[in-house]
Amino acid sequence: MSTAVLSPDFLWGFATASYQIEGAPHQDGRGPSIWDTFCKIPGKIADGSSGDVACDSYNKSADDIALLKETGAKAYRFSLSWSRVIPLGGREDPVNEKGLGFYVKFVDDLLAAGITPLVTLFHWDLPDNLDKRYGGLLNKKEFVADYTNYARVVFKAMGPKVKHWITFNEPWCSSILGYSTGLFAPGHTSDRSKSKVGDSSREPWIVGHNLLLAHGSAVKVYRDEFKSKDGGEIGITLNGDWVYPWDAEDPKDVEACERKLEFSISWFADPVYFGHYPASMVSQLGDRLPTWTEEEKALVKGSNDFYGMNHYTANYIKHRTGTPEPEDYLGNLESLYESKKGEIIGPDTQSFWLKPNPLGFRKLMKWISDRYGKPKIYVTENGTSLKGENDLPMEKILEDDFRLKYYQDYTQAMADAVSKDGVDCRGYMAWSLLDNFEWAEGYETRFGVTYVDYTGGQKRYPKKSAKEIHKCFDALIKKA
């Protein structure tokens, strides 16, 4: 029997992202994002699809709110499409009032339904024009200025209605998948069989630095111009997997575990909390890792009111010997699913990278809490795909016991982190409310608690997990 340990005002609900659910790429003046462009390149998306229709949430926002109410959710994390708000993206470019108005009305509708909005300003869909105009995320001066302007436009439009702001979702993915492996838009990589442009040894570190500066700049604007009258809070969302040594007896594998966390999480969190990059990254990357000016350091250090935590899985870590490759981004190590003794991280899912390991969630929450001085944490994404789910008949898809068990196990692990490890966790957003466009995997992978019939007018059918997840929180949240 679960013990109620979470605070009475604990926020739980679901998360989505604009390009993954909205569709309506040209409606009401939206401009293209780098993902609209990337999806048109043959071979980039597993099933050759795009987010052109997705869940059609731009036209079905009332359906999404009805679903949220049905689940009992207290909160909803969603992202804004920058190119819907400012189609050309830049600070001198016109604001699209219809696009901005859509989001303002959506926030009003959520509040009217008793649901707290958590708004992500950037979930990977950079206006394509900014990529073409000046190189997008690679251009420090222009990108930081344009993003700051966009953030200010949104803060002003929303005012006190939104109390929880997220600047960037998973900058690691924008940097590494966008500019090292080339798996995500804009697809830069040193591998010339995949892209004509890119330098995997340098570009991701430049992009990461610029994202941190844009984050710090937007936070400064919010704190200086809006926070005192609007009363909200602002932070960044970082992704990270837990780590176990491949050989628990080998101190070099144990050491490599810490390095893996530093290369994935601390790359962004150390500058935000301490004002510098982790020593392990400085040591390996040398002059390829940008240096901090005093002004930049002052902008970024202390720029989180909360820590946004996206988490799904864990890995076994095996150290590597010798000099790391110039394009290495892990920290000179291997990330594996099986230990030296043959233990596996967890059962298979549809996503090759995701194997459920709830204990890893608790351990990572404690690691983050210990390293960064017990910050307030919102779990901004957590969830699973289900092996072969897309190939099942609909009635079987709706009985998603595997996903429900994932949520039961992971929410209990979170509660243990709070009650046994002293972690300050204030919210949990399950990924995702809806089956949606799963980036390079297209529509073959489903993460939703709601089945979306992509060939039947995007009709929504709640799965078992949608109907039962509230029980996890009913048991874990203290009564007021």
What gap in Å lies between CA 381 and CA 420, rounded to an integer?
Answer: 22
Catalytic residue among 142, 203, 381, 438: 381
Active site residue 170: yes
Q: What's the burial of 229, exposed, middle or buried (CB within 10 Å: 0-12/13-18/19+)?
A: exposed
Closest CA to 364 of 318, 412, 421, 320: 421
Cβ proximity of 185 and 245 under 8 Å: no
Cβ proximity of 159 and 231 under 8 Å: no
Catalytic residue among 22, 170, 389, 441: 170
Reading the block at residue 389, the tokens are: 């789910």
Active site residue 294: no
What gap in Å lies between CA 209 and CA 204, rounded to an integer?
Answer: 9
> Does the N-terminal peptide bond of residue 432 adopt cis geometry, omega within 30 degrees of 0?
yes
The 3-class SS string of the chain reads CCCCCECCCCEEEEECCHHHHCCCCCHHHCCCEHHHHHHCCCCCCCCCCCCCCCCCCCCCHHHHHHHHHHHCCCEEEEECCHHHHCCCCCCCCCCCHHHHHHHHHHHHHHHHCCCEEEEEEECCCCEHHHHHHHCHHHCHHHHHHHHHHHHHHHHHHHHHHCCEEEEEECHHHHHHHHHCCCCCCCCCCCCCCCCCCCCCCCHHHHHHHHHHHHHHHHHHHHHHHHHHHHCCEEEEEEECCEEEECCCCCHHHHHHHHHHHHHHHHHHHHHHHHCCCCHHHHHHHHHHCCCCCHHHHHHHCCCCCCEEEECCCEEEEEECCCCCCCCCCCCCEEEECECCCCCECCCCCCCCCCCCCHHHHHHHHHHHHHHCCCCCEEEEECCCCCCCHHHCCHHHHCCCHHHHHHHHHHHHHHHHHHHHHCCCEEEEEEECCCCCCCHHHCCCCCCCCEEEECCCCCEEEECHHHHHHHHHHHHHECCC
What gap in Å lies between CA 113 and CA 75, rounded to an integer?
Answer: 10
Size of the chain, expressed as the number of residues it contains: 480
Which positions are annotated as active-site residues? 170, 381
